[in-house]
Amino acid sequence: MPKKSMRDALREALHEEMERDDSIIVLGEDVIAHGGPYAVTRGIDEKFPGRIRQTPISEAGIVGTALGAALCGMRPVAEVMYVDFATCAMDEVVNQMAKVRYMFGGQTDVPVVLRLPSGSARLLAAQHSQCLEAWFLHVPGLQVVVPSTAYDAKGLLKTALRGKDPVLFMEYKRLYTNESEVPDEDYAIPFGQADVKREGRDVTIVATGPMVPKALEAADLLAPEGIDVEVVDTRTLVPFDKAAVFASVEKTNRVIVTDEEVKRGGTSAEIASLIAEECFDALDAPVKRLAAAEVPMPFSPELEKLVVPKTEHLVAATRELVG
Amino acid sequence: MPVEAPSAEKLLDMYARMWRIRLFEEQAEYQSSQGKVMGALHTYIGEEGVAVPICAHLQDTDYITSTHRGHGHCIAKGADISRMMAELFGRSTGYCKGKGGSMHIADFKVGMLGANGIVAGGFGLATGAGLAAQLRGSGQVAVCFFGDGAANRGPFHENINIGAVWKLPVVYVCENNQFAQWTPQKDVTLVTDIANMSPAYGIPGVQVDGMDPLAVYEAAGEAIERARRGEGPTLLECKTYRFHGHNFGDPQQYRTREEIAEWSDNRDPIKQLAAHMRDAGLLSDEQDADIQNTVQEEITAAVRFAESSPYPTPDELYKDVYSYDIG
């Protein structure tokens, strides 16, 4: 099976779905000039002229316009250059996109996808490095997707582009170049299905996005010590596959929940509390959480490297948990 | 291209729609005073001369977006007043199954993309509707109704600029009723003629007396035809006045009785249209009474429908959050 980067896998998903469905359009800043800041939309203008619109720097306008078009028969994919800038469109996301189906009594589908480059990369500091999943998973009506591999990214984006509900598609910038096997044949990955990326007996690591490869690394490092780690990749946060997480916890009886978001009020808090509330009897030890430091992302590499959890932290936390 | 004057038939239809709005709103206020209509209630009384003549140019396939003061837009666009009233009563037969209320009535079947509780919430929706129409080459237009208060929000700027640069078939209609909730426009805005902001976007700005339905009809006709021809948006400002305050129960300490009377006694758009039609020999006393009686009967029937409709059942709570069930 060919290996592809997440960037190429996302681009393939867009091209293939645009080929299949004429109502898909792409909007965003610099999406033609440069294919977006991470070149995901490169080539669309040549292949699908007129179906990609390069916008002014107007996030509220981009998201609002995408939503309006979605209510009128189109299927827009809006790229917001950095998830940090989605804060400039919070009304459109939270008060409009998330609400229109419910508050209008189910009169309309809301097939709109926001692609949101996330997380730290290239030392971009406080306003270009955030992970805001938790803000969005708090809002009923939105779906939140966080792929960790090229394979998952393509399959999940295809599902997003075939659905009827808004999707906030978190693309971790540091994962764009990561490669995995991606088949040439068409496939889609349903939402609400976590993926056990590695089976194990002793400890479960529930990981999202960029923490998944680190969890797999940690598992490899711990295996020689006889510690058998299971890695569960949530893949989508809304809808959330509780059953898969609980099944793993019931098997291993020990769990670490990890993401790159600021720890306070982050996704890991939600997942940990679900386990504590609904799966407590399966636990032989308290749930552990590994997430980012509660600081704005600093610029200097000497500080930035201290913010998000690393493989070595997962290794240490796992040892502690089984010790 | 001059806009053709409305036919006698169209004038009668506009006149009836304006009464339908007026009497619907008066009834909604009465039902609110009786505790039957719940929640916030922002009436369109006094502003009927804006939405009705504008929507008279539109088909069901055209789109409008609205505001928190949305009942008039719904009725002007052809929504069913029984389902509207049922929504105000919080009943399951309402447009939103009782999940939206006054500030969120929508009727997608007639292109009414929803009243909107967020000031300036309609700009993106209308601009996107215009984009969809342009991409399809369908000749549809979108009309974005907004208030003078919304012109001070960012989406005004971002979306009009997008609409202008892409030459989208959108007409941005400012219903300048001169108050942002309880704050006079002149206290918060130096440029009180919103149409004068249009040069910043490179599009035409047109100001019209929003109390004169025929003037609005003509100005809107030009703007809508321009949009249909693919020449892009117009910023159309209609100077108007809400006769009953921001919401039902508003003590209106920010304005005088004399000021209100000046507008409601001398500039009422329904009276103005009636006077014109009488002068032109298009409205007899008998026709006038018939129209008002018929509308009154529709309103009575709407209340009866609402009152006799069931409340939503608890199983509705988790429906419509997504297209799939989350029960």
Residue A144: strand, helix, or coil = strand
H helices of B34-144, in order, are 48-55, 71-77, 81-88, 122-136
A143 lies within 8 A of chain B by CB: yes
pLDDT class of A323 with cuts at 50, 70, 90: confident
Mean pLDDT by 10 residues, chain B (327 residues): 91 98 98 96 98 98 98 98 98 98 98 97 98 98 98 98 98 97 95 98 98 98 98 98 94 94 97 98 97 98 98 97 92
A314 lies within 8 A of chain B by CB: no
Judge whether B323 and A164 are in contact, CB under 8 Å. yes
Q: How far apart are CA A141 and CA B129, in angstroms?
A: 21
A160 lies within 8 A of chain B by CB: no
The residue extents of the domains of chain B are 8-305
Nearest by CB to residue A95, choosing from B95, B118, B133, is B118
For the segment A285-313, the average pLDDT, to the nearest whole number, is 97
Residues of chain B found within 8 Å of residue A159, distances taken between Cβ atoms:
none
pLDDT beyond 70 at A216: yes
0.90 surpassed by pTM: yes
CATH 3.20.20.140 corresponds to the domain B8-305: no
* Mutation site, A53, A71, A104, A236, interface B, largest B CB count within 10 A: A104
Q: How far apart are CA B205 and CA A140, in angstroms?
A: 39
Contacts of A27 by beta carbon, 8 Å cutoff, 6+ apart:
A52, A53, A55, A62, A65, A66, A76, A77, A78, A79
Residues of chain B found within 8 Å of residue A65, distances taken between Cβ atoms:
124, 127-128, 131, 159, 162
CA B202 to chain centre: 26
Residues of chain A found within 8 Å of residue B129, distances taken between Cβ atoms:
68-69, 71-72
Strands A203-207 and A195-198: unpaired
H helices of A84-232, in order, are 90, 100-103, 133-137, 150-162, 211-222
What pLDDT is attached to residue B47?
A: 98
Judge whether A73 and A119 are in contact, CB under 8 Å. no
Strands A229-233 and B183-184: unpaired
Condensed to tens digits (0 to 9), the pLDDT of residues A47-74 reads: 999 999 999 999 999 999 999 999 999 9
Q: What is the percent of chain B with per-residue pLDDT over 70, rounded to a whole number?
A: 99
- What are phi and psi for residue B5, nearest 5 degrees? -65, 150
CB atoms B320 and A164 under 8 Å? no
A65 lies within 8 A of chain B by CB: yes
For the segment A258-287, the average pLDDT, to the nearest whole number, is 98
For the segment A257-285, the average pLDDT, to the nearest whole number, is 98
CB atoms B129 and A107 under 8 Å? no
Find tokens 């997480």 and name the residue: A245
- What are phi and psi for residue A261, nearest 5 degrees? -75, 160
Find tokens 């949530």 and name the residue: A234
pLDDT beyond 80 at A84: yes
Q: Which residues pair with B145 in a beta bridge?
A: B173
Spell A114-151 as b/e; 16+ CB within 10 A means b.
Answer: bbbbbbbbeebeeebbbbbbbbbbebebbbbbbbbbbb
A138 among known catalytic residues:
no
User: What residue of B is the nearest CA neighbor of A163?
Assistant: B323
Q: How far apart are CA B233 and CA B202, in angstroms?
A: 10
Domains of chain A: 3-181 (3.40.50.970), 195-322 (3.40.50.920)
CB atoms B125 and A68 under 8 Å? yes
Torsion of CA A278, A281, A286, A291, to 10 degrees: -30
Q: How far apart are CA B243 and CA A293, in angstroms?
A: 55
